[in-house]
Amino acid sequence: MSIADYVIEVQKLTKSYGKVEVLKGVDLQVERGTMLALLGPNGAGKTTIVRILSTLLGFDEGTVLVDGHDVRTEVNAVRAVIGLTGQSTAVDELLTGRENLVMMGRLYRLTASSAKVRAQELLEEFDLLEAAGRPTKTYSGGMRRRLDLAVSLIATPPVLFLDEPTTGLDPRSRLAMWGIIKSLLAGGTTILLTTQYLEEADQLADRIAVIDGGRVIAAGTPSSLKSKVGNDRLELTFLDDESFRHALTALDDDVIDSNAAEYSASVVINDTNSDVKRALNMLAEAGVVVQSLAVHKPTLDDVFLSLTGKLKPSGTVESN
């Protein structure tokens, strides 16, 4: 992979606020037409990275390139190729949806006619046409987020920064936003996403970088990160305490976890079909009745907890 294939290239990035080190040598690369999701606990530095990449914040040391342009020395060139959707909507609530889009188009130096045409395209694409003539203060949260994303795309930027774009949305609005983001990726847009929702990163991202304590502590595809956590597990529950105790005896060393209060036990499985069959045969031979069973595959929640030792992100807005 050559440097030219990376639309976003971050090397040894550091940033401090006084004596507080927020970023401690971050390295990131995002290939053209792909999405990188940044995961990490609150305060890990995700939003700081986005603000630096979008030229809104300076940094101490390192190299930061966006589409080949240095964010320190080529600010205008960087701004010409990026779009940004922040944690809070940046639309004017007194203007209508259409007026917001046209105004932003004019700020991007589109002609009046071109701005109107582009606004119409985005209103249709983001399912906002019926509300186009209403002041945005009357929009729902989901509609505002869609409009905010549409505004960031008024100049069709090849690079898009999405800083927690679905925080606070209801499940239906979040799924709608996912569909829009997938369409942008399919169209060749390069995206860097920060999110509080691990499922979101799993569904959308080509690669994930986990940040903790100002450093990237793991990076890879969702599947490769999940594979590092461990094997699949067979989770079993039993009818009563007697069945539970007999099951532990029958499964013996295969048991990796158990909960006497819930009459449950977990067994590692390498091959789903053969290992599940083997465990059930052992229990049947011991005369143990299984109340329920499920195969648990590692999730990004498991990855996050394993790598950071913290609970998954809570949805609280990151302060830095």
pLDDT band (50, 70, 90) for residue 136: very high
Residue 18 lies inside a defined structural domain of this protein: yes
Quick check: 4 pLDDT over 70? no
Query: Does residue 250 share a domain with residue 280?
Result: yes
Last residue of one domain, picked from the residues 227, 249, 268: 227
Instruction: Let me know whether 285 and 201 are in one domain.
Output: no
| Per-residue pLDDT reduced to its tens digit, 62-81 | 999 999 999 999 999 999 99
pLDDT of amino acid 172: 84
221 and 236 housed in the same domain: no
As for how many domains the chain has, the answer is 2
| CATH number, domain with residue 282 | 3.30.70.100
- 8 and 64 belong to one structural domain: yes
**Which domain covers residue 62, as residue numbers?**
3-81+157-227
* Residue 314 covered by a domain: no
The type of residue at 96 is: T
Q: What is the pLDDT of residues 174-192, one digit of tens each?
A: 888 899 899 999 999 999 9
pTM score of the predicted model: 0.75
How remote is the C-alpha of 50 from its chain's centroid?
13
Spatial distance between the Cα atoms of 181 and 152, rounded to a whole number of angstroms? 12
Per-residue model confidence (pLDDT) at position 97: 95
pLDDT digits (tens, 9 = 90+) for 37-56: 999 888 889 999 999 999 99
* Residue after which a domain boundary falls, among 174, 194, 227: 227
- The verdict on 165 and 293 lying in the same domain is no
The answer to whether residues 214 and 257 belong to one domain is no
